[in-house]
Amino acid sequence: MKAFSLKGKTALVTGGNSGIGLGMARGLAKAGATVAITGRNAAKNERALAELNRIQPGCRGFAADLAKTDLIRSAYAEASKDMGGFDILINNAGTTIRGPAEDLTLDDWSTTMALNLTAPMFLSQCFARERIERKQGGSIIFTASLMSEASRSTTAAYTASKGGIRQLIKALAVDWAKYGIRVNGIGPGYIETDLTRPLHENEEFSAWVKKRTPLGRWGQPADLEGMAVLLASDASAFVTGQIFYVDGGWLATF
């Protein structure tokens, strides 16, 4: 089991103050990593850090709005300096703006792409440049989506951004393999979080999710912990360019 240990490692999890991001951050902390999280809500950051520090002391939080892509390099540099560099990067922060494709505005499209695709790309570049300079490998994990493979009505911008993530994972995995930097993704299914509460509390929709999912339930943030640890650790040393769907079998059936 030593290969799964993250003792002595540092990790940055964007959007790590709640939901799926916090679930993955918990998993890394339980495996021994010291975790830094980013989030726009300072109060949520503090609550998440109180929990993470009970698991693994030394975890830190950084207030950051990654949609402001011109500030990404400075935000990463500040966090990395404070933490002494990162061994693991989880690009989890994201957003969605729903509406019919024919009504989608340029601002809605640009906002979605900035946070879901542009920010993860250039955070990954910051991470990779640092690891290359240090002559050390590392692990980058992207939060993909069922929408990386399929789509639902009113999600054109989000679906496009997550389809882009699928291909970006492959491209970066190929470019950075020679440096020992592995790049993979986790594709959550329908996970019960604060953001999905309205859907979960909608009896008709919730029933559809359970019927559509072979394992017959909504996922929980804790369901992401094991996959995050696997992909961040040496247990997946020969794995790169892949997306692993934690979806209860949703994509396996129709």
Q: What token pair was written down for 209?
A: 């999710």
Cα–Cα dist 166/214, whole Å: 24
**7, 236, 223, 120: CA torsion to nearest 10:** 90
Whole-angstrom distance, CA of residue 155 vs CA of residue 74? 31
How far is residue 110's CA from residue 112's CA, in Å, rounded to a whole number?
Answer: 5
Reduced DSSP (H G I as helix, E B as strand, rest coil) percent helix, strand, coil of the chain, to 5: 55, 15, 30
Q: Are 82 and 136 in contact (CB under 8 A)?
A: no
- Whole-number Å distance between alpha carbons of 191 and 194: 10
Enumerate residues 6+ apart whose C-beta is below 8 A from 77. 126
Determine which one of 158, 179, 190, 245 is catalytic.
158
Residue owning tokens 């300096």: 81
The span from the CA of 99 to the CA of 26, in Å, is: 33
Q: What phi-psi label fits residue 58: left (phi over 0), alpha (psi between -120 and 50 degrees) or beta?
A: left
User: Which tokens go with 120?
Assistant: 């993860």
Q: Two tokens at 22?
A: 């916090």
Contact 219, 246 (CB under 8 A): yes
Q: In the annotation, is 179 catalytic?
A: no
Residues carrying an active site annotation: 158
